[in-house]
Structure 1
Amino acid sequence: MLVTTRWSAWNEEIEVQVTEGAALGPAEGLVVTVLTEAESACSLQRGDAEIHAVNLAQGSPVRVSVRLARLLRSALWVARMTDGAVNPLAVEDSPSGVPPIHPEPTFADVQVDEATVLAPWGVSFDIADTARADTADRAAALVASDLECGVMVRIGSVVATAGHPPAGGWQMPVPGDGAVELPAGTAMATVRSDDGDGRDESVGGEWQQVSVIAEDALWAYGAAAAAIQRGVGAVNWLEEQELAARLVDRHGRVYTTDGWSRPYAA
């Protein structure tokens, strides 16, 4: 029996489903705790978030919590896996007409050594999207482990599952395409080019929406966001990564990788 609860947090709708009715209340409590920890660590909308200290350091090392260090490492991992298409850094522009004195810093210049972060001068972090995906993974794993039940955690359009699935599997809606069944322990993310995340639509403007199924929500989100940026080369890149994906272009035409099939999507 599946039971569900929904609420809003971190500018997103949160949904939790569990396979045991008695586990719903405790599961919600665990997810709220994990969400609150992540938001307080890295939300730029919170004046007391830890990440502001990192962004203000400008070339000086900063000690951070274990949680923020993990979220930063996750964001940098996604950047490496996508060759920088999903970039956690915002680089300050030089004054008009003035060439930079030093090469423009990249995510590869950032060091996270245990709980110490060292980023170059002139950069700041915005890791909210990868942090939400990482948090969905962590929350789902924690609920399944602590409560010994199957669980689905959705943060916005990012879904993570853990534990034993319900009869009939995890049926997850795909915007504009009904639902797909997620294999046990997998995740899915859908990214739209008009999500208001500041993307330059002149880059990778081929796709209106990309949905990806992967082993975890962090990689599902990273791959979907990278596909948006990669334009016409996205389908081949997703095939090379052996990911199940569905892409919708700006004319409404649908493309899928070999791994995407119905009723099972992976």
Structure 2
Amino acid sequence: MVTDPGQLDAARRIVANEIAAVDRAASRFRPDAEIMHLDAAGGAPQQVSELLAELIGVALDAARRTGGDVIPTLGGALADLGYDRDLSLLARNGPPVLTVRRPAPGWRRISLAGRTLTLPVDVQLDLGATAKAHTADRAAAQVAARLDTGVLVSLGGDIATAGQAPAGGWQVHVADQPGEPTCVVGLAAGTAVATSSTLGRRWQRGDRLLHHILDPRTCQPAPTVWRTVTVAAGTCVAANTGTALTAAPTRSEGTSR
């Protein structure tokens, strides 16, 4: 959404280009994505693109800010639980998976200096806890700067704004499942809101109903405290990280909420 209707098509193109660039860099679900080739370095330092370095840096910053509750080292654990492709392609019922409770690989072992990344051989990255939210922040900032318009960018449950807000602020409708109670959250210019749920991204393996928010202490779906959490903050990354922290105790989020 834009405050200058004449800029809507141009704004949509900017956002679409941002999404496509992030998908090529960081999607765990496409074999040609840059992130899928990091293992080839075998633990040696490697050069990554500026965009992937930025996305990994944001993920590591979230890990630092949360004391390791929201981390980017759960790619292998999510795949082991069956979440190895886009949710739209994921078989919702499948054979049992092994329940191996183990700590996630330590995120502090990842070294990022500029564009030079050193990734331990036992670490498979998943940037889902921060990458989509950061993309919303990036896209909103670019639209506002390039088109001189107020803008709201919504990527699923991750919403960022930039530029001047409409009169009364941005009004965001928050809902869970169809037919359930809803509310409206008002956002001032330049702020963001994110919503996370343990209901939407679920799949069955054997007799286990799994979801995508993992406890890094066990690499298993975290115990559910709240069904749905919405957080407003100064950036979408901060809001999204807050939803993961609140949705379940000591946890980290997997790809693509």
Q: Same fold (TM over 0.5)?
A: yes
1:26 equivalent to 2:7? Answer no
1:222 equivalent to 2:241? Answer yes
What amino acid does structure 2 have at the position aligned with 1:189? Answer: A
Aligned to 1:165: 165
Question: How many equivalent residue pairs?
Answer: 208
Q: Judging changes above 3 Å, is the alpha-carbon distance between structure 1 residues 91 and 218 closer, same or farther for their aligned structure 2 residues?
A: closer
What amino acid does structure 2 have at the position aligned with 1:177? Answer: T
Q: Secondary structure at the match of 1:69?
A: helix
Instruction: Please identify runs of 4+ aligned residues in structure 1 that moved more than 6 A.
Output: none
Structure of greater relative contact order (alpha carbons < 8 Å, 6+ residues apart)? 2
Q: How does 1:86-97 map to 2 (within 5 A)?
A: 86-90=70-74
13, 22, 33: which is aligned to 1:49?
Answer: 33
The answer to whether the 8 Å contact 1:91/1:122 transfers is no
Q: Judging changes above 3 Å, is the alpha-carbon distance between structure 1 residues 190 and 92 closer, same or farther for their aligned structure 2 residues?
A: closer
Q: Judging changes above 3 Å, is the alpha-carbon distance between structure 1 residues 194 and 55 closer, same or farther for their aligned structure 2 residues?
A: farther
Deviation at 1:104, TM superposition (A): 6.9
190, 193, 197: which is aligned to 1:192?
Answer: 197
What amino acid does structure 1 have at the position aligned with 2:164? Answer: H
Deviations 1:182-218 (A, max 9, x none): 1110000001023425335863421111110000000
Instruction: In structure 1, list runs of 5 or more residues that go unmatched.
Output: 1-16, 232-266
* Structure 1 Cα separation of the partners of residues 109 and 61 of structure 2: 13
The answer to whether the 8 Å contact 2:190/2:234 transfers is yes
1:180 equivalent to 2:185? Answer yes
The answer to whether the 8 Å contact 1:58/1:122 transfers is no
1:131 equivalent to 2:136? Answer no
The answer to whether the 8 Å contact 1:82/1:223 transfers is no
The answer to whether the 8 Å contact 1:204/1:228 transfers is no
Instruction: In structure 2, list runs of 5 or more residues that go unmatched.
Output: 78-97, 176-180, 202-210, 215-219, 251-257
Q: 134-143 vs 178-187, which deviates more?
A: 178-187
TM-score, normalised relative to structure 2? 0.75
Deviations 1:133-184 (A, max 9, x none): 0000000000001111100000000100000001121000122332111111
TM-score, normalised relative to structure 1? 0.73
Aligned to 1:4: none
* Structure 2 Cα separation of the partners of residues 187 and 55 of structure 1: 34
* Structure 2 Cα separation of the partners of residues 202 and 163 of structure 1: 38
Aligned to 2:230: 211
What amino acid does structure 2 have at the position aligned with 1:180? Answer: V
The answer to whether the 8 Å contact 2:39/2:121 transfers is no
What amino acid does structure 2 have at the position aligned with 1:61? Answer: P
* Structure 1 Cα separation of the partners of residues 130 and 221 of structure 2: 23
CA RMSD of aligned residues (A): 2.2
